Every structure is written in C-alpha cells, then in structure tokens.
C-alpha cells in the first residue's frame, strides 16, 4: 500500500500567519461498497483537529485528507481511522 503526500499552497489565516496544508491519500482496508463505513471513517477524520477536509471512496478503499501538519500528524489520522474500526498503512508500507 502506498501513501502519497502533496504540499499545497499556503493560505493566510486571521492571525496573519501562513497556514500550511498537506494532502495525503490513505489506503483503508475493509471498506465495502455500501458506503456506511466510508461515512464512519470520514466523520472520524474530520473530527481530528487540523483536518480541513476528508473524503473516503469505498470503491477504491482510499481516504483523501487535507490537513495542517502543524496541528495534526499522519499518526493521528491513522488513530482516527482505527477508532472507526478500520485499518490503514503508515508511511513506508507498515500496516496498522
């Protein structure tokens, strides 16, 4: 399983400091095409402080997450997926 990250342009926030944004694609094991699991994972991800948006595609078993790395980390995103009852992979191919 592969995790891809892309750096996006920074956006200004109200305190005049730049807001860094990263996008990550996380493979999610065990999703079905019914969509209920995808919604559960999406809800868990958007509750993580620093997550700007999340979309989970049950057909491809992938989560697409945009987040501020100063507020959260890949480890926290993985914990959110696990709390929803699913598994993902950490960078370097380590399965969780």
Query: Is residue 93 included in any domain, yes or no?
Result: yes
CATH number at residue 90: 3.30.70.100
Q: What pLDDT does 91 receive?
A: 54
Query: Is residue 9 included in any domain, yes or no?
Result: no
Q: Is the pLDDT of residue 13 over 50?
A: no
72, 80 in Cβ contact below 8 A? Answer: no
**Residues spanned by the domain of 96:** 31-96
Contacts of 29 (CB under 8 A, 6+ apart): 61, 86, 87, 88
pLDDT digits (tens, 9 = 90+) for 39-96: 999 999 999 999 999 999 988 899 999 999 999 999 999 999 999 999 987 555 545 5
């Amino acid at each position: 399983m592969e995790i891809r990250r892309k750096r996006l342009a920074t956006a200004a926030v109200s305190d005049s400091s730049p807001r860094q944004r990263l996008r990550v694609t996380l493979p999610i094991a065990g999703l079905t095409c019914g969509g209920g699991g995808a919604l559960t994972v999406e809800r868990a991800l958007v509750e993580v402080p620093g997550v700007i948006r999340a979309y989970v595609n049950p057909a491809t078993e992938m989560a697409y997450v945009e987040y501020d790395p100063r507020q959260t980390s890949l480890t926290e995103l993985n914990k959110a997926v696990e709390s929803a009852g699913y598994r993902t992979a950490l960078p370097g191919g380590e399965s969780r």
